[in-house]
């Protein structure tokens, strides 16, 4: 997964949240657009759009952007930083068997997951379905075990540890059947888990999930109007041949695409913009 673009009403406040709280680095800030990430990897792109209003919580759109950290120490540092500087934004935590996850809501209501993956050798697969659960995970106990003195010092200074990437993106959609038809049958992801007509988890390359779609708040939602929140989801494929094959696939299914020679962009059934580009 590539960067997630968010349209925001208060650019300065959102930069502070993702930089000083989540411990991302401000990679660039050019007028109304700020790019935050780690090293040379963009994670969140903020686009200032103060003329827009917030969508209804019942609308389709972003459920959360999930940021994957490379060590438990790095994750604990980020959790401690957000909890210290934005204590009202923590919403929960869970052991999902494949991962350890902590949930927040940014100042404009966008969901944020900070997580660490267990080693793939510890994931359990049965007939192509990965075993996931939602088990209790005590955030204070997690910090006691994994927050180091160096991590606490880094968090206090607004810095982070290690590498981080967008691990997966979770969307709010109107119905799971349409999500499966679009993201699996048309786009080509493989289903890795499902919760009846409530949620669908999909991936490529044997990951537990690169994307998920649920109807928990948005059942029956139609196409989105222009509003604050999700602007774009970016997917990265290995090479130009993969991008070309995807273009042919989408053409076969009569999905309207915008091709600029470097990427393919298209809307899902709820007008969530997806852009696919080749790596490199």
Per-residue pLDDT of the chain (280 residues; tens, 9 = 90+): 999 999 999 999 999 999 999 999 999 999 999 999 999 999 999 999 999 999 999 999 999 999 999 999 999 999 999 999 998 999 999 999 999 999 999 999 999 999 999 999 999 999 899 999 999 999 999 999 999 999 999 998 888 899 999 999 999 999 999 999 999 999 999 999 999 999 999 999 999 999 999 999 999 999 999 999 999 999 999 999 999 999 999 999 999 999 988 899 999 999 999 999 998 7
According to DSSP, residue 50 is labeled T
The CATH code of the domain at 3-278 is 3.10.180.10
Q: Could you give the CA distance from residue 25 to residue 39 in angstroms, rounded to a whole number?
A: 8
* Angle value at C-alpha 120, between 117 and 121, nearest 5 degrees: 135
Instruction: Sketch the domain layout of the chain as residue ranges.
Output: 3-278
Distance separating alpha carbons of residues 113 and 260, to the nearest angstrom: 32
Length of the chain: 280
DSSP string, 72-116: HHHHHHHHHHHHHH-GGGEEEEEE-SSEEEEEEE-TTS-EEEEEE
The pTM (predicted TM-score) of the whole model is: 0.96
Sign of the C-alpha dihedral, residues 20, 24, 27, 33? Answer: negative
Q: How far, in Å, are 28, 73, 157, 266 from residue 154 at the CA level?
A: 21, 11, 5, 40
Q: Across the chain, where does the E strand assignment appear?
A: 4-8, 25-30, 33-38, 41-48, 61-69, 90-95, 99-105, 111-117, 125-126, 129-130, 164-172, 190-195, 199-203, 211-214, 229-237, 258-259, 263-267, 273-278
* Residue 37, helix vs strand vs coil: strand
In angstroms, rounded to a whole number, what is the distance separating the alpha carbons of residues 79 and 73?
10
129's CB contacts (< 8 A; 6+ apart) are: 191, 192, 193, 194
Which one, of 17, 31, 9, 128, lies nearest residue 82 by Cα? Answer: 17
């Amino acid at each position: 997964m590539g960067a997630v673009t968010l349209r925001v009403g208060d650019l300065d406040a959102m930069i502070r949240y993702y930089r000083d709280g989540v411990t991302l680095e401000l990679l660039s800030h050019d007028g109304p657009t700020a790019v935050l990430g780690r090293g040379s990897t963009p994670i969140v792109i903020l686009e200032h759009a103060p003329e827009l209003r917030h969508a209804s919580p019942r609308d389709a759109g972003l459920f959360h952007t999930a940021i994957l950290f490379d060590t438990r120490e790095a994750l604990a540092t980020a959790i401690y930083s957000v909890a210290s500087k934005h204590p009202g934004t923590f919403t929960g935590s869970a052991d999902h068997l494949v991962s350890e996850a902590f949930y927040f809501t940014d100042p404009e209501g966008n969901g944020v997951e900070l997580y660490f993956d267990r080693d793939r050798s510890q994931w359990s697969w049965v007939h192509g379905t990965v075993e996931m659960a939602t088990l209790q995970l005590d955030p204070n106990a997690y910090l006691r075990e994994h927050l180091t003195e160096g991590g606490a010092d880094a968090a206090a200074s607004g810095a982070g540890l290690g590498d981080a990437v967008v691990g997966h993106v979770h969307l709010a959609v109107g119905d799971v059947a349409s999500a499966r038809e679009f993201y699996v049958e048309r786009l080509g992801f493989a289903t890795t888990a499902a919760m009846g007509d409530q949620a669908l988890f999909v991936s490529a390359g044997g990951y537990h999930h690169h994307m998920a779609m649920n109807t928990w708040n948005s059942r029956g939602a139609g196409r989105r109007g222009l509003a604050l929140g999700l602007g774009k989801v970016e997917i990265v494929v290995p090479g130009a041949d993969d991008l070309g094959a995807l273009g042919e696939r989408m053409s076969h299914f009569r999905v309207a695409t915008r091709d600029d020679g470097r990427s393919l962009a298209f809307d899902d059934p709820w007008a969530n913009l997806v852009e696919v580009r080749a790596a490199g």
